[in-house]
Structure 1
Amino acid sequence: MSSVRYEICEIDPGHYLKVLKCHSDENVQIETVNKNLFIIIPGNPGIIDFYEHFAIDLNRKTNCPVIGISHTGHLYHDSITSWKPKPVISQIMDKIKFIEKHLGDEYKYENVTLIGHSIGCYVIIELLELINHEFKNKIKKSFLFFPTIERMSITPNGKVLLFFSEFLSWLVYFMALVITFFPNMIRKHLIKIGLNNRHGSVNENLLIDGIENIVLKMSNNYSCFRSCFYMGANEMKIVTDLNKKAIEQNLDKLYFYYGSNDKWCPVNFYHEMRKFMSEIEKESADVHLDQLGLDHAFIIFKKQCEIITDLVLINSK
């Protein structure tokens, strides 16, 4: 039986991470369960609560502890109500700081597997360049699912966000104000309708339990809402050229999984990555294109989460 708990970590004065910790028995300390550890780096929104079903399924299938690290400021908490948003580079450094300080002190792990989703993949690639060698040597594999790691501003969804980013502060304030006029029951219903309208070819596209509550809590917290939009706008400016040097240097640790109909990462990015692998004579590299119709936001669907955990399990061996 998997046990999940959440902890708030003050990564620096006035800035917080929310950490998901999942292991097999609530009476056993996470550091003694297994020397293998999975660390999830989320997309945007970087609210780690979205990844609970994924973490539980991964823990159940591997019997290894799983940790999920939110993006700084992408959280809601009764006692923490206000903070300034952080750009992408600060988010990367905060992950490194957390891993080097907290994981180094608390956990007796030997083999670490990183799992990145969307912008979390960019964070991982940069992290592998910057993290202390002592910790980098413990990272055996990094899974990059639906990777937004280059030219985000020219992608279909990126163009939309880039347009609205010029009015970001006004837009976020207006949206946060408007949704407060609806009763919670109506807001939850509208959220579920909106999320259920996402399409894919995977059967049983059931939403994860309680997703409407997660979205509602996010929208109710202005600082959280603002942090997500601020980071998204910053991604358009920062995530430009592919970091080929970092990819080539760490290729033995990387597993890429591209979507076949992903408006954040068009399929031609996959083909260009395959071409790059050919140029550096690494045709056998783990660069894969989805054939199942998985959604970029796979994390909100139960069945799709379970398919991804199967991929991690099969390719971790």
Structure 2
Amino acid sequence: MLHSRTSSTVRFIPQLLRSSRTIAMANCTITNMVTKSPVSKTKKCANFRLCNVSSYTTELLEIRAEDPSFHVLLIPGNPGVVAFYVHFIEFLYEQLGGNASITAIGHISHTMKDWERGRLFSIEEQINHKVVFIREELQNADIPILLVGHSIGAYISLEVFKRWPEKVRYCIALYPFLTLNQNSRKQINTVKFVRSPFKSTAFSCTIALLGLLPTCAFEFFVRKSLGESWSTNAVKAACSHLSKYHTVRNILFMAKTEFKKLSEAPDWAFIRQRKTQLAFLYGVDDHWGPLEVHEELSRQVPDVPLAIERENHTHSFCCTEEGSLWVAQHVASLLKDQMTCKSTQERTLEVTGVVVNIGEG
């Protein structure tokens, strides 16, 4: 998760920034050259706002539809900075024809400001945070919730689904990080690193010091570290969020608790039970969600919908406009199929007079 220019500490800086799960903030300007088709009338800019969730200041990114048929809740990976997904959210809204409201919810203290005064939050606390958000902001809505989780956000989404099976209708896992990859040297090295309080603190301090550089200098550093494929907005987002001591400390601490939790096998029983309400997208060369896990998932749950992205967009798809567009098209196709299927079932049940809870699958 977390390459060297001077010292062993500095060697980790580009790796953190280049992390497959590190994604970046973008603003609401999308260049038309990405989309080959004409601009849709449903194109909207995502709006940023702060929300209080169980007394924790939370960053949200959202697009509200006038008359939504369902609500898409996006749960990011780690770092959990919602602005990473601006392009993805706006493309997804357009692909869905403006028929859905979309909200991306950030992780606690993965924020531009240190609202929580240095406190560190575990993966379990981040899961509970999402559950409370649904209870406080979405529970009373008359439309179903469809979850989209990226990387460790896929794991969080599945856990949320377990706790709200009557409210969540469908869940899509993008490049899911569901279990440890014992064949990944990157993961092994990262586990050793995040388990050391000294190394985590020293690294966070080093990043914070670099963040004091003039904006143009730090952006140049990030650009060279990340490569030329990331969008300008993604680079600026990395500068705004990943240069903060409290954010980096929380990224590393959350990773530490992730590795402990994901040392266990995935909950195959739950996936079997809810397989008609789940879909998974894997990448070809992704050590966080390797094809070995895709194959194991196929063996454990033969009929669960599985797909492999072969367009070389990588785990950090949302750091480029091209990747965001491709994944948005894929997700929109799944969501449309799911809602069409459910609508047909509901109409059939209404005609026959049978009453069931569709949300129970």
- What TM-score, normalized to structure 2? 0.75
Tell me which residue corresponds to 1:89. Answer: 124
SS of equivalent to 1:193: helix
CA contact (8 A) 2:139 2:167 kept: no
Distance 1:307 1:180, change over 3 A: closer
CA distance in 1, matches of 2:84, 2:329: 18
Tell me which residue corresponds to 2:89. Answer: 55
Tell me which residue corresponds to 1:259. Answer: 283
2:72 to 31, 34, 38: 38
Shift of 1:110: 1.6
Kindly report which structure 2 residues correspond to 1:211-226, keeping only aligned pairs within 5 A, or say none: 211-226=234-249
Tell me which residue corresponds to 2:34. Answer: none
SS of equivalent to 1:3: coil
CA contact (8 A) 1:81 1:221 kept: no
Kindly report which structure 2 residues correspond to 1:109-148, keeping only aligned pairs within 5 A, or say none: 109-131=142-164, 136-148=165-177
What's the C-alpha RMSD, in Å, of the aligned pairs? Answer: 2.0
Distance 1:251 1:259, change over 3 A: same
CA contact (8 A) 2:154 2:177 kept: yes
SS of equivalent to 1:65: strand
The runs of at least 4 aligned residues of structure 1 exceeding 6 Å deviation read: none
CA distance in 1, matches of 2:107, 2:282: 22
SS of equivalent to 1:72: coil
Tell me which residue corresponds to 1:26. Answer: none
- Output one character per residue of 1:146-189: Cα deviation in whole Å (capped at 9) or x when no partner: 11011256633321211211334333333234414532211101
| Counterpart code for 2:175 | F
- 234-243 vs 174-183, which deviates more? 174-183
Distance 1:291 1:220, change over 3 A: closer
Tell me which residue corresponds to 2:354. Answer: none
SS of equivalent to 1:299: helix
SS of equivalent to 2:242: helix
1:7 to 49, 52, 59: 49
CA distance in 2, matches of 1:114, 1:177: 33
Aligned residues: 289
CA contact (8 A) 1:36 1:65 kept: yes
SS of equivalent to 1:258: strand
CA distance in 2, matches of 1:184, 1:122: 35
Distance 1:85 1:154, change over 3 A: farther
Shift of 1:69: 0.5
Distance 1:75 1:177, change over 3 A: closer
| Counterpart code for 1:75 | T
Alignment of 1:22 onto 2:51 = no
Tell me which residue corresponds to 1:160. Answer: 189
CA distance in 2, matches of 1:226, 1:96: 23
Kindly report which structure 2 residues correspond to 1:260-275, keeping only aligned pairs within 5 A, or say none: 260-275=284-299
- For structure 1, the 5+ residue unaligned runs are 24-29, 198-204, 278-282
Tell me which residue corresponds to 2:330. Answer: 311
Distance 1:72 1:80, change over 3 A: closer
Distance 1:218 1:153, change over 3 A: farther
CA distance in 2, matches of 1:315, 1:177: 41
CA contact (8 A) 1:41 1:69 kept: yes
- For structure 2, the 5+ residue unaligned runs are 1-42, 338-361
Shift of 1:209: 4.3
CA contact (8 A) 1:251 1:285 kept: yes
Shift of 1:81: 6.9
CA contact (8 A) 1:153 1:237 kept: no
Tell me which residue corresponds to 1:69. Answer: 105
2:221 to 173, 190, 213: 190
Q: How many percent identity over aligned positions? A: 19
CA contact (8 A) 1:6 1:21 kept: yes
- Output one character per residue of 1:253-310: Cα deviation in whole Å (capped at 9) or x when no partner: 1101111100212221111111112xxxxx3320222222220111101001100011
Distance 1:219 1:137, change over 3 A: same
Distance 1:109 1:210, change over 3 A: farther
Shift of 1:129: 1.3
CA distance in 2, matches of 1:291, 1:211: 22
CA distance in 1, matches of 2:204, 2:313: 32
CA contact (8 A) 1:34 1:109 kept: no
